[in-house]
Structure 1
Amino acid sequence: MAIKTLGTRLLKRLRDNLLNKRNWLSFLAGLSLVLAYAPFSLWWLMLIVLPLFLNSINGADVKTATKQGFIFALGWFGSGISWVHVSIDQFGGLPLFFSLLLMVLLCCYLALYPALACYLSTRFAPKKKFSLWLLPPCWLISEYLRANLLTGFPWLSIGYSQIDGPLSSFAPLIGEIGISTLLLVISIAVINTVYNHYRKTHILLVIAVFTFAYLLTSVAWVTPINKTITAALVQGNVEQSMKWQPEKEWPIQLKYLDHSRENYDADIIVWPESAVTALEPAAQDFLSMADRSATLNDSAIITGILDYKYQSKTYFNSLIVIGKKESSDDTGHYRYNHSNRYYKNHLLPIGEFVPFGDILRKIAPIFNLQYSSFTRGDYIQPNLVAKGVHLLPLICFEIAFPEQLAANFTDQTDILLTVSNDSWFGDSHGPHQHLDIARMRALEFGRPLLRATNNGVTAIIDHRGNIQATLPQFTEAVLKADLELVQGKTFYSQYWQFIHWLLPIILLILFFCLYPMLNKKT
């Protein structure tokens, strides 16, 4: 009887939630945010949707604010990372019901963080009512947790939506995290101006932010050094289903080498993640041949390859340099285990390592993908050197972690390099979002960036975060362009730790000190 009563109550609560108009409005508001990101790039939409949602929960109690924050984020991530389902559905080996269930669980997990921000903004606010001005520091705290807990998943941070908007000029100063903060501040000021009577303080704040953004466009954070290099990025467009078939090993590798031979006038040639489809110890003949060929033609090749250490029985997702290391040296430098290499540190859950693998690998093929037991490389590693150019490498997902890039950024770093194999995500918006994340890193750190992928989006990006050249997706081609090198450091690249740690603390202090003034009608 008790179980029946409990079931009836749960069904009634579910029905009430499904019929609740406020829940649907929050969900649809979050759902629409996907349009603010690539490939749609309607950056201004964030400045409309975010204020509308925050105004809907302004003054709400703890339960309501937390619940609506969760529902809003469920729509936000449900549409924004729907590309994850492509890999689960096509390569996971799960029935549709279970693949959709995994996606729902992932979105529910990610939605906990914005819900936490809404909870904190209410729980510690005066009168236990949702406070708009307490949200920015609480949001930054929740986003820090999202980027770090359980290896972290900082995808779709709201600042990335502004890479093509006027607020992007703040990136070299305060980074994407600072842009996210400004979006919240602007949204709050708009709410207090439009919905809570006219307030001179708030409208002046919005005007000041955009005026400062305009002035920052004229700031030269770095300066050209009157040196250019020619880069060629090879997009092999290899089908994921064919990539690791033994009979395709040599044809795939020769494809990359043939494209490179046609472009040896380039200083640096880049192949994408795991372009060489043989383990490095077993690919010595091919790598030696490519090394001699590149060196003879005064060029260097950087390629993704998987390494296997027989003694420790460990796999690494790596990048290696073959051919010219220094422009003045005319001999090949590649040898197995040479130091001019990079081992991926930030591994992708499920794809590159499986938590509780002994249990999960027995459940479904998605937990037992080929080469899903990688070992982490060191967090800090030397830059790669190719023909005298220093490149800071990041593989795939790592480009979403500015802290890792900053930890490896040196005075000698000339170029940022990221390689990926986004064929896991098909014709979805995932690769386009990935590209915009890379653009934000280039702008934050004031360095040109090379992005080589298997099937797109392959791109060459200048130090201002602008796409200099790109290739169409799902084509086999080579992207070649001259890249201007620069020197100097942006404010963010030097003081990112203070920005990441002090920004939420400063906002909290300002909230409690200025709260009466910020809410004063003028």
Structure 2
Amino acid sequence: MIFFNKNCDQWFRLCLAWIVGAIGALSFSPYDYWLALLISFSGLQCLTLNCATRQASIIGFMWGFGFFGTGMYWLCISIDAFSELPAIINLFAMVMLTGYLALYPLIFISLLNTLCTKSLFLRLIVASPVIWHIIEFFRSFVMTGFPWLQFGYTQINGPLKGIAPLMGEEAITFLLVTISGSVVYSIEKRQILAIVFVILLVLLQWPLHSMNWFVSLPERAVDVALVQGNTLPLLKWDPNDLVNILNTYTRLSNPLIGKKSIIIWPESAIPDTEKNQQLFLQDQDQKLRIAGTTLVTGIIDSRFENNNYYTYNTILVIGNGSNPYRYLSNNRYQKNHLVPFGEYVPFKALLQSLTAFFKIPMSMFTQGAYIQPQLRVAGYNMTPALCYEVIFTRKMRDNFRPETDFLLAISNDAWFGDSNGPWQHLQMARMRALELGRPLLYSTNNGVTTIINARGEITHIIPQFESRVLTATVVPTTGLTPYARFGNFGIWVITLLFAVIWLIGFLRLSVCNSTVYHKIS
């Protein structure tokens, strides 16, 4: 190995692993230095070569601690500002979450060291992307999943973005791991063949950038307004705060009624239960229907059914055509992917007493259905997502329909202050628009509020931390991208193919080694 030898101090390796992992965070928004990801992951591969499995696994853990710890430091803001817990407990919670996420690189390196010890080519270029893809798949659904900072998102402005509408973000991640392995292989073997392969790979997919997988429908263009109230999240149900928030959103929206076809408020813009706000909603609905404007808003729906209370984080549509608003109407969306410890307590029986002891404020939301109908908004069909649901590529694709006109994502990123969190969130939302070939209306409480076209490009944006309204004329699209048609089928076929190549190579090496052993004997 060029950079490190067997006598290299383990503590130096661990510190270097943390630094190399932290470098990877620079590839995500708002920095967008996508090459930093290749440097970071290549560094992990280099550091774990010629190491015992136990040593390599610890290095993988430290790399993950640096990568997730720096990339998701914004969680400290949310925990510290809104949990009302002592600083030491907040720090402990952040360390525990980062440690949990760092387990995935640890498992990746452990498997790599166990299964691929005899061939550098098989280890770096064949097995690495297969194992990483499987590991990331598990990360995307364990405890409802948390697939934040997946590698493919770094390419939303990069040279590999053309692959997204073809096979999705996961395919880009697979390719980035393959490229990282090829770089390390070239360095280790002191040959440029693998680098040439990487260059050819990038060039061959370049024509994908100019391909149109969708058709714009300018004759169906619609005027929309996204209202950014810039109000703080409510920790307690204070009637005065509630009145002020409702006044903010109605004050910003009233001049638009009758002038814009669609007005969109963010997640929990009405910070009260839908049942409590019947008079407000009915009054708004009547005013909107008379003027020909439709309102989409976030609200909490707490209802009593089957002798139990069910509380849903909800997107509600009112003022929609000639049908008056009524409670329990079907034109709504209920959040499916709930935030662990924020919207529900995983392992409730085990952890409920612990959260009560530390006085951790918990919301016990009910999970909505995985597949839900499209929202019908002023004659348009929208595939919705609430908050961080937009990062779940499979869920968005499974709820997408050929008749979808727009994607809709509403969120309240005020929890994350002036940090990288909202920008990373936006980066992932842009990938959904690119994958599915539909414009995305992205409304947040205090920014980033944007409109994204079907190529994943930001066309309209307003400043963060201001009470503003984003107005624009948006053109819907039609047609299905290959990813919209087939989902992740293509990347799993490639994963299986690489796994077969690794197995054949492994068996051949085993046979050769066995033959040599018998000859020597």
The normalised TM-score by structure 1 is: 0.90
Equivalence for 2:267: 273
2:222 matched residue in structure 1: 229
Native 8 Å contact 2:65 2:102 kept in 1: yes
Q: CA deviation at 1:170?
A: 1.0
Question: What are the superposed Cα offsets for residues 264-288 of structure 1, whole Å, 9 maximum, x if unpaired?
Answer: 3222111000111221011111111
Which residue pairs with 1:426 in the alignment? Answer: 417
> How far 1:113 sits from its partner (Å)?
0.7
- The question of whether the paired residues in 2 share the 8 Å contact of 1:93 and 1:364 is answered with no
> What does residue range 86-165 of structure 1 map to in structure 2 within 5 Å?
86-127=77-118, 131-133=123-125, 134-165=127-158
Shift of 1:220: 0.6
Give the SS at the match of 1:20.
Answer: helix
Q: Is 1:506 aligned to 2:500, yes or no?
A: no
CA contact (8 A) 1:291 1:332 kept: no
Distance 1:430 1:224 in 2: 32
The CA distance in 1 between the partners of 2:189 and 2:508, in whole Å, is: 14
Cα distance change, pair 375–125 in 1 and its aligned pair in 2 (3 A):
same
Aligned to 2:68: 77
Q: How many residues are matched? A: 494
SS at match of 2:136: helix
Structure 1 residue 286 corresponds to structure 2 residue 280: yes
1:58–1:131 contact (8 Å) kept in structure 2? no
Which amino acid is 1:32 matched to?
A: I
Q: Which secondary structure state, in structure 2, belongs to the residue aligned with residue 302 of structure 1?
A: strand
Tell me the SS of whatever aligns to 1:481: strand
Correspondence for 2:455: 464
Aligned to 1:262: 255
SS at match of 2:447: coil
Q: List gaps (5 residues or longer) in structure 1.
A: 1-15
Cα distance in 1, alignment partners of residues 267 and 87 from structure 2: 29
2:344 maps to 1:353? yes
Q: Which residue of 2 aligns with 1:214?
A: 206
The aligned residue for residue 399 of structure 1 is 390
CA distance in 2, matches of 1:225, 1:394: 23
1:283 and 1:212 map into 2 onto residues whose CA distance is 56
| Structure 2 counterpart of 1:453, one-letter code | T
* Matching residue's letter, 2:186: T
Q: Is the 8 A contact 2:165 2:436 kept in 1?
A: yes
Counterpart of 1:186 (choices 179, 182, 189) is 179
Q: How far apart are the structure 2 equivalents of 1:410 and 1:19?
A: 52
Q: Aligned in 2, Cα 1:477/1:18: closer, same or farther, shift over 3 Å?
A: farther
How far apart, in 2, do the equivalents of 1:166 and 1:244 lie? Answer: 48
Give 1:73 shift. 0.6
**Cα gap change, 1:137/1:435 in structure 2, threshold over 3 Å: closer, same or farther?**
same
Pick closer, same or farther for the CA change 1:362–1:243 going to 2, 3 Å: closer
**Native 8 Å contact 1:122 1:128 kept in 2:** no
Contact kept, 8 Å, 1:419 with 1:452, in 2: the verdict is yes
1:502 is displaced (CA, Å) by 3.0
* C-alpha deviation, 1:126, in angstroms: 4.1
1:192–1:199 CA contact under 8 A, matched in 2: no
Secondary structure of 2:409's partner? strand
Compare 253-262 and 73-82 and name the one that shifted more: 253-262
Amino acid at match of 2:147: P
Distance 1:58 1:484 in 2: 51
Name the counterpart of 2:3.
none
CA contact (8 A) 1:51 1:191 kept: yes
Q: Deviations over 1:368-425 (max 9, x none)?
A: 24xx011011111101011110011110011111111111111111111111111111
Aligned partner of residue 277 in structure 1, secondary structure: strand
Specify the alignment match of 2:444 in structure 1: 453
Question: What letter matches 1:176 in structure 2?
Answer: E
Residue number in structure 1 paired with 2:44: 53
Cα distance change of structure 1 residues 460 and 243 upon mapping to structure 2, 3 Å threshold: farther
Q: Is the 8 A contact 2:124 2:182 kept in 1?
A: no
Q: Distance in 2 between matches of 1:34 and 1:437?
A: 14
- Structure 2 CA distance for aligned equivalents of residues 389 and 91 of structure 1: 37
Contact 1:322 1:332 in 2 (8 A): no
List per-residue Cα deviations over 1:1-44 (Å, max 9, x = no partner).
xxxxxxxxxxxxxxx99971111111100012111111111112
Q: Does 1:435 align with 2:426?
A: yes
Aligned to 1:306: 300
Q: In 2, distance between residues paired with 1:405 and 1:502?
A: 21
Please tell me whether the aligned partners of residues 291 and 322 of structure 1 are also in contact (alpha carbons under 8 angstroms). Answer: yes
- Contact 1:59–1:131 at 8 Å: present in 2 too? no
Residue 500 of structure 1: how far off its partner (Å): 5.2
Give the one of 460, 464, 471 matched to 1:480: 471
Secondary structure in structure 1 of the residue aligned to 2:373: coil
Deviation at residue 332 of structure 1 after TM alignment: 4.2
Post-superposition shift, 1:248? 2.2
Within 2, Cα distance between the matches of 1:438 and 1:517?
Answer: 44
Distance in 1 (alpha carbons) for counterparts of 2:422 and 2:471? 20
Structure-2 separation of matches of 1:308 and 1:460: 31
| d(CA) in 2 for partners of 1:181, 1:203 | 17
Alpha-carbon distance between aligned partners in 1 of 2:24 and 2:237, rounded to the nearest angstrom? 37
Structure 1 residue 255 displacement after superposition: 2.1
Paired-residue identity, %: 38
AA matched with 1:30: G
Structure 1 position 515, deviation (Å): 7.4
Of stretches 251-260 and 226-235 in structure 1, the one that deviates more from structure 2 is 251-260
Report the secondary structure of 1:337's partner residue. Answer: coil
What is the letter of the counterpart of residue 358 of structure 1?
A: Q
* Residue-by-residue CA offset, 1:132-166 (whole Å, 9 max, x unaligned): 13111100111111111121110011111121111
> 2:195 maps to what in 1?
203
- Using the TM superposition, give the Cα deviation of residue 513 of structure 1 relative to its aligned residue in structure 2, in angstroms: 4.0
What is the distance in 2 between the residues matched to 1:470 and 1:335?
A: 33
Corresponding residue for residue 7 of structure 1: none
The answer as to whether partners of 1:92 and 1:364 remain within 8 angstroms in 2 is no
**Equivalent residue for 1:316, pick from 312, 319, 339:** 312
The aligned amino acid for 1:321 is V
**Per-residue CA shift, 1:455-488, capped at 9, x if unaligned?**
1111110000001111111110001111121111
Query: Bigger shift: 438-447 or 212-221?
Result: 212-221
Q: Which amino acid aligns with 1:208?
A: L
Separation in 2, partners of 1:38, 1:363:
37
Deviation per CA, 1:85-136: give whole Å up to 9, x if none. Answer: 1111111122111211111111111011111111111111244989213111
Equivalents in 2 of 1:18, 1:305: separation in Å? Answer: 55
User: Could you state the TM-score of these two structures normalised by the residue count of structure 2?
Assistant: 0.90
